[in-house]
Structure 1
Amino acid sequence: MTTRRSDGSYDIWLNGQYALRDFIYELTLEEALDEISYRAQATIVVTPDFPGMRPGQDVRVVGVPYGSSEQIDLLHPAIVWQCENSYERADRLTVTMYDRTIYLAKSEDEFVFPAGMTASERIRRYATGWNIRVGDLPDTKVKLAKSIYRAETIYNMIMKDLKETARKGGPMYRPRMTLNGLELVEIGTNPVIWSLEPSENVMSIMQKRTLEGAVTKVKVLGTKDAGDESAAQVLVIEEGEYAELGTLQKIVQDSSYQSISEAKEAAKAMLSGIQETISVTSLDINTIRAGDKVDLAGSGMDLIAMTVRHELGDPGKMVLELGSPELVRRRFYMNESV
């Protein structure tokens, strides 16, 4: 007889017809700020009455939130993305599921946007072009520079728009797919802020400090015409803790800045010293998402969940990588790449 983790707290619904609770051996949920889609992975014990699963099927993961007694959707709307069969004393199926933002990360298109549009206006344009329903979409307010996107994924385009918004002093936003449609969630504005107590629900804490990723000098260059062999004009140079930490220089060449003062503010925001992150392993609070603010008792810091891994069970376990809002802005929103 195979031991199964399922205890009634969690279930997977397949095509809205089949409850797979009795087949679940292991179930995890994972999310990171540098990835768009919430991901679930389940190990399923295959028996004669198992209905079978294949890529492309609709799926939803439900569970009872910490401190509650009623099930809610933890991953929905979602899709079966990958299935792997294996045999080791029992037939098992490993299933990878994503929320439906995965299609934005895997689909390419091209768009040309004039200057003056906001990120939220552009998202409505993407949604119209791809027949995507839009849910809660706050006004991001910051006017963006002209953009020409050629053969890029929709996710890349959205993140470039959101990064430009943040670089120009706007809030940090994260796209999420909900039952209401594609939405934008501002980082750190979750209405419920969970407290992690080292003396109660925390199993271990690891604090890391490093110069990897530190920036003590920023040089902002102007753009130059193609074929021009001369060096680009230096618009702004901002210096930070180079005397104490050494010179770690970042070069920025961004045509979206509309003035020297705007470039100067962006350069200041890129300066950073010693990088500090905190990894916490604790009893699971299954509703914490990447981008949520978390209270770590005794830290004296505002902390944002940068990566989240929920190992669902009773009791479950979660592993969080936490960083300050300033670190999140520098690491995920001030860089050029997606």
Structure 2
Amino acid sequence: MSYEVVLQNKYYLRELIESISLSDSLDQIAYQGSITLKVSADFPGIEPGQEIRISGVPFGVTNPVYLLHPGVVWDCSSSISQTKHMTLTVYDRTIYLAKSEDECLFAAGGTASQRLKKHAADWNIKLANVPDTKTKLKKSVYRAQTIYSMIMADLKETVKSGGEMYIPRMTPSGLGLFKIGGNETVWKLEGIEEATQSRTLEETVTKVKVLGTESNENALTPVLAIVSGQTAEYGVLQKIVQDEDVKTADAAKKLGESMLKGKGASYSVSCTDLNTIRAGDKVNFNGMGLIVTSVNHQLGEPGHMTLELSTFEDVKRRYFLEQ
């Protein structure tokens, strides 16, 4: 196998590997790996908390790159019959942001980028590329919750206010922000084994009414904006939106327009593996530029992967705008 697993920066486990899979989705923060090893009965134990990394050679190049690094062993189990088998669940170290809670107060006027840097300083997290998200955010008081939920709340507010979509991503250089669809290399999916397209009106929205947050028990909630889309084609399917981050009619109109959605379309694809593809990447499928919402790599020679794909607009609505 042309993949390498290194434990504690000194134990090279390539010869013991039976299988490796890597999974990522926009619903999870940390890249997850599952490794099965065939070991001798006297093999030294592997324990949760130990450092681990996974490397491999991407398509079209000759030198290996880190696929999951820095990583940590999270779960491990073993079984013995005629031989001893060990199964490891590993994550990149953003898992700590999803498992650690805190309280934070942020003044109005800062950006999601600035707040991420503050989290990194407080938690002694090494930073990589953190682009300027530019959008100034309102005052935020975060009571006891995970660091990841705070980061995502700031990134979602950024999008609701007209900014770009970003997700946190751990790299060998440190924690950074990755722009959705911002990958330099856009891979064309080939070696298709199976592809399924689903179309539905289930989540279609052709009219949006954006309400203010002020309430009066003797009157209806004030309406900040009403926007319409494909009502002639699909009928009136109205959504009510009320968001404390949206205060002005202009911001309400932008939010309403971003919530309009025609018929839904999603794609499931099984094909030859491209081992560097991550959730949030843009790929080319049948001439369409689509965003990976989840991916599972079965590493091997050749490898295999299964992807869920959506349009840029669907990703924006589903992961950043919906309540």
Q: For residues 252 and 101 of structure 1, what CA distance do their matches in structure 2 show?
A: 32
How many pairs does the alignment contain? 323
Q: For residue 4 of structure 1, what is the aligned residue in structure 2?
A: none
Counterpart selection for 2:303 from 271, 296, 316: 316
Q: How does 1:1-338 map to 2 (within 5 A)?
A: 7=1, 9-87=2-80, 90-197=83-190, 201-224=191-214, 231-296=220-285, 299-336=286-323
Q: Is the 8 A contact 1:291 1:305 kept in 2?
A: yes
- Separation in 2, partners of 1:129, 1:42: 32
CA offset at residue 128 of structure 1? 1.6
In 1, the alpha carbon distance for the partners of 2:49 and 2:217 equals: 49
Distance 1:31 1:306, change over 3 A: same
Provide, for residues 164-191 of structure 1, a one-character-per-residue CA deviation record: whole Å limited to 9, x for no partner.
1112221111111122221001111111
**236-245 or 27-36: bigger deviation:** 236-245
Tell me the TM-score normalised to structure 1 length: 0.90
Contact 1:220 1:234 in 2 (8 A): yes
Structure 1 SS opposite 2:288: coil
Q: Secondary structure at the match of 2:185?
A: coil
* Cα offset, 1:90, TM superposition: 3.7
CA distance in structure 1 between the aligned counterparts of 2:42 and 2:11, rounded to whole angstroms? 11
User: Helix, strand or coil: the match of 1:196?
Assistant: coil
The amino acid of 2:207's aligned partner reads K
CA distance in 2, matches of 1:219, 1:51: 62
CA-CA distance at 1:66 after TM superposition? 1.3
* Other structure's SS at 1:302 match: strand
Give the corresponding residue for 1:3.
none
Name the aligned partner's letter for residue 249 of structure 1: Q
Spell out, residue by residue over 1:34-78, the C-alpha distance to the aligned partner (whole angstroms, 9 max, x if none): 111100001122313533211100000011111222221100001
Q: Distance in 2 between matches of 1:133 and 1:116?
A: 24
CA deviation after TM superposition for structure 1 residue 247, in Å: 4.1
2:193 match: secondary structure? strand
Q: 1:228 to 1:183 in 2, by over 3 A?
A: farther
Q: Give per-residue Cα distances to partners, 1:112-152, cap 9 Å, x unaligned.
A: 11221111011111112212122111111011112111111
For structure 2, the 5+ residue unaligned runs are: none
Cα separation, partners in 2 of 1:223 and 1:310, compared to 1, 3 Å: same
Identity across matched positions, percent: 50
The AA in structure 2 aligned to 1:214 is: T
* Deviation, structure 1 residue 196: 1.8
Rounded to whole Å, the distance in 2 between the matches of 1:228 and 1:150 is: 29
- Checking the alignment, whether the CA contact within 8 Å between 1:146 and 1:256 is kept in structure 2 is no
Unaligned runs of 5+ in 1: 1-6
Farther-moved stretch of structure 1 (232-241 vs 122-131): 232-241
CA RMSD of aligned residues (A): 1.8
The C-alpha deviation readout for 1:77-106, integer Å capped at 9, x for no partner, is 010011122346543222110000000011
Judge conservation of contact 1:23–1:50 (CA < 8 Å) in 2: no
CA distance in 1, matches of 2:123, 2:149: 15
- The 3-state SS of whatever aligns with 1:28 is strand
